[in-house]
Chains A and B, each alone.
Chain A
Amino acid sequence: MPPTPTLTAAPDGVAASPAAPGRRPRRLSPALTGWAYATPTALFVLIFFVAPILLVAQMSVSDWGLFTGDRGLNAPENFTKAVGDRLFWPAVWFTVKYTVVTTVILLALALGLALVVQESNRWTGFLRTSFLIPSALGLASASLLFYALYSPQSSPLGFLGVESFLGTPATALWSTVTLIVWRFAGFYMLLLLVGLQGISGDVYEAARLDGASRWQTFRHVTLPLLRSSLALCTILCVTGSMLAFDQFYLLTKGGPDNSTITIVQLIYNMAFFGQNNLGRAAALSILVLVALLIVNVLQFRGLRDKES
C-alpha cells in the first residue's frame, strides 16, 4: 500500500514537493503510515515494559510468593519487611561505598588513559585497542575470568603477596573494583576521548602563548571543556555501580559474611533464593527505581547549576 510522496513530509521542516499532490490517490494518511511503522515498537514497549512496570507496582503491594502466586493485597507489609530485612542497611551502605570507590577510580584512570592516547598514531592505536579489548567481554565472562585469576589454586598473581583475594571484606571489595576497572576503563576512555577531540587546538595554542604550564593547561583549559563528557561518564558509572549484580554474584557470592551484598543481589535473593517472596522483591526493586531516579535528577541538576 504505497502512500503518495507528500505523505512523508520530513519533520525537520523540509517542504513537501508541490508537484506531487493529486498525481496519485491518497491511500493512507502520514499519521497512519507513521503509526504502522511504529507499531512493532509500541507493542514491544507495551508488553515488555509498560505492562511489567504496572505489574511490579501491583506485586509490591500484594502477598505474592514465588510458588504460590498472588494471594491478595497486603500493603504496606512488603515495603516494611523489605526495609526491615537484616541485610537491607548493610546492602545499601555497601552499594554506596562501592559506587563511590568505583566511580572515582574508574574515571580518574579513564581520563589518564584518554590523555595518553589522544594523539593519533600507530602506537596509540595499539594502546587504544589493548585498553578496549576487555570491554568486548561480557561482565559475567570477565567475572568468571577473574574468579580463576584470584583463586589460590590457579592464580598467577602470587608475586603480589596478597594472602587471599576474596577472603576478607576489604580484599573482596578491592578485588572486585580491580575487575570492574579492567573491564570498563577502555569504555570510559573512549567516551572521554570523544570529548578531548572536541576541544579545538586553538585553545591550547592560546594557553601556550599565555605561558601556561602543562598542569595549568590541564586544570584550567582541558578539565572545564571536558565537563559534559565527564558528566556523561559519571552518570553512566554511578547508575551501573548502583545496580551492580553479576560481578558480586559470580566473584564473591556476597561473601565473606554477607559483607559484599549489593542491593540488586538482595532483590534477587528475596525473589529466588531463600525467601522466595516476589512481592517483597518487587517492593525493594521499586525502592531502587525511585532511588535511581532521585540520584539521576540530582546529578542532572548539579551539572546544570555548574554550567550556568
Chain B
Amino acid sequence: MSRTLMLRTPQHVLTGGLAIVFLFPLAWAAVASVSPQPGTAQISGWGLGNYQTLANYQAGVVQYLINSTVVSGLTVAVTLVVSVLGGYAFALFRFPGRNLLFLITLAILMVPYATLLIPLYVLLNELGLQDSLIGLSLVLAMFQLPFATFMMRISFEAIPAELREAALIDGCGSLRALRHVLLPAVKPGLITVGLFAFLAAWNDFITPLVLISDSDKAPLPLAVANMRQQVMGIVDYGATEAGVVVLALPCVLLFLALQRHYVRGFMSGALKG
C-alpha cells in the first residue's frame, strides 16, 4: 500500500498542480473581490466595499438578481412543461407529422443564435414582447427545447412497457397516468433538463444583449458587463470581481449539489448523440 502510494506521488503532484490551475481563477476572484485594491471601493483593508458598489449600481444588484431569477425560473418552468408533454407525445403516441416535428425541434441546434435573434428582435416587437422578461424567457426556453425534448423522449421510452400499460389499464386516462405514474419514473430526466435550463438561462449573454434594451430589466450578466464601462471609461475591477462571484456562486453550488445529474445528462446525451 505505502509502496504504491510512494510510486504514485509524482503523479499526484502533477495532477494536483493541474487541479490548482483549474481552481485558481475562481478562488482568486473570490479573494480579490474582498481584498484591498487601488481604483476600487475597497482601497484599504479587507471588506465588502466592492459588493457595496455592486448593490448601488443603477437599479441595484438586487433588481438584477430578481430579473435573473424571474428569467431563469420562467425558462425552467416553460422548458419542463413543454418538453414533458412533447417527450410524452413523441415517446408513446403515433400521430401524423410526429417524425417531422421531432426533426424540426432538433434542427434548432443547427441554427446559430445570431441568425434567430435578428428576426426575433423584430418578431417580439410585433407580439408586444419587446424588452420583456417573458419574451426573453420564451426565447431561452426555445433554445433549450432540442436537448430537453430529446432527453424527455428517451426518458419516457426507457420506462418499462408493463408500467405504462398497468397505469392505463387501472383506468387512468393518459394525463392521469402521466401525472401519477410516469412522471415519478422520469424524475432523473426532469432534474437534468431543469438544471441545464437553469444554467443556460442564468448565464446567457447574447440573447438579453439583443432583446433587452431597458437597462433596469437587464439580467445579471448583462448588468455586470454594462457596469464595467461606467465611471468615465475607468473600469472598476473590484466591482467586476464581486459581480463574477455573485454570478458564479449559485452555479457552482448547484453544480456541486447536483453533480451526479449533470454528469449523467452529458453521458446519456453523448451515448446517443
Q: Which residues of A contact B (CB under 8 A)?
A: 1-3, 5, 7-12, 14, 17, 20, 30-42, 44-45, 47-53, 55-56, 59, 113, 116, 123, 126-127, 129-134, 136-141, 144-149, 151, 153-154, 156, 182, 185-187, 190-191, 194-195, 229, 232, 243, 245-246, 249-250, 264, 267-268, 271-272, 278, 281-282, 285-286, 288-289, 292-293, 296
**A-B pairs, 5 with minimum CB distance:** A138-B203, A2-B173, A34-B93, A34-B95, A41-B86
Query: CB distance B267 to A194 under 8 Å?
Result: yes
Flag whether B183 is at the interface (Cβ < 8 A).
no
Interface 9-mer from B54-62, B137-145, B184-192 = B137-145
Contact check, A271 vs B19: say whether CB atoms are below 8 A apart.
Answer: no
A156 to B199, CA, bound (A): 29
| Given A17-B165, A288-B115: A31 in contact with B81 (beta carbons within 8 A) | no
Contact between A190 and B112, CB atoms less than 8 A apart:
no
Chain B residues proximal to chain A, CB less than 8 Å: 12, 15, 18-19, 22-23, 25-26, 28-29, 32, 37-39, 81-83, 85-86, 88-98, 101, 104-105, 107-108, 110-116, 118-123, 138-139, 141-142, 145, 149, 157, 161, 164-165, 168-169, 171-177, 199, 202-206, 209-210, 221, 224-225, 228, 235, 237-238, 240-241, 243-244, 247-248, 251-252, 254-256, 259, 262-263, 266-267, 270-271, 273
The binding surface of chain B is classed by DSSP as: helix
Instruction: Given the known inter-chain contacts A145-B244, A292-B112, please indicate yes or no for A129 contacting B259, CB distance below 8 A.
Output: yes
Given A33-B93, A52-B116, decide whether A3 and B142 contact each other with a Cβ distance below 8 A.
no
Q: Is there contact, CB below 8 Å, between A194 and B94?
A: no
Interchain CB contact (< 8 A) of B266 among A116, A194, A285: A194
Given A59-B118, A154-B37, A246-B206; A33-B111 close (CB under 8 Å): no
Contact A10 B161, beta carbon cutoff 8 Å:
yes
Extra 12 A-B pairs, beta carbons < 8 Å, given A33-B95, A55-B119, A285-B112? A2-B171, A37-B174, A44-B82, A53-B111, A56-B118, A59-B119, A130-B23, A132-B259, A137-B26, A145-B29, A271-B121, A288-B112
Complex: how many Å from CA A17 to CA B162?
A: 10
> In whole angstroms, how far apart are the Cα atoms of A132 and B19 in the complex?
10
Q: Nearest chain-A residue to B201 (Cβ)?
A: A138
Asked if B123 contacts A55 (CB within 8 A), the reply is yes
- The closest CB in chain A to the CB of B268 belongs to A194
Contacts of A268 in B (CB 8 A): 114, 206, 209-210
Instruction: Compute how far the CA of A2 lies from the CA of B145 in the bound complex, rounded to whole angstroms.
Output: 27
A133, B228: Cβ atoms closer than 8 Å: no
Contacts of A134 in B (CB 8 A): 22, 25-26
Asked whether, in the complex, the Cβ of B221 is within 8 Å of the Cβ of A141, the reply is: yes
Q: Which partner residue on chain B sits nearest A123 by CB separation?
A: B12
If A14-B161, A49-B116 touch, whether A5 touches B169 (CB-CB below 8 Å) is yes
Q: List residues of chain A with CB within 8 A of the CB of B267.
A: 190, 194
Closest residue of chain B to A57 (Cβ to Cβ) is B119
Closest A residue to B39 by beta carbon equals A153
- Bound Cα distance A289, B111 (Å): 6
Residues of A close to B88: CB separation below 8 A: 37
Among residues of A, the one whose C-beta sits closest to the C-beta of B213 is A272
Determine the distance from Cα of A127 to Cα of B228 in the docked complex, in whole angstroms: 33
Q: Which residue of A lies closest to B94 (CB)?
A: A11
A289 to B209, CA, bound (A): 20
Within the assembled complex, what's the spacing in Å between the Cα atoms of A298 and B233?
45
> CB distance A52 to B119 under 8 Å?
yes
Cα distance A141–B110 in the bound complex, in angstroms:
25
> Judging by beta carbons under 8 Å apart, are B145 and A144 in contact?
no
Tell me the bound Cα distance from A281 to B117 in angstroms: 11
Which of B18, B113, B172, B235 has a CB less than 8 Å from the CB of A151?
B235
Contacts of B205 in A (CB 8 A): 138-140, 246, 249-250
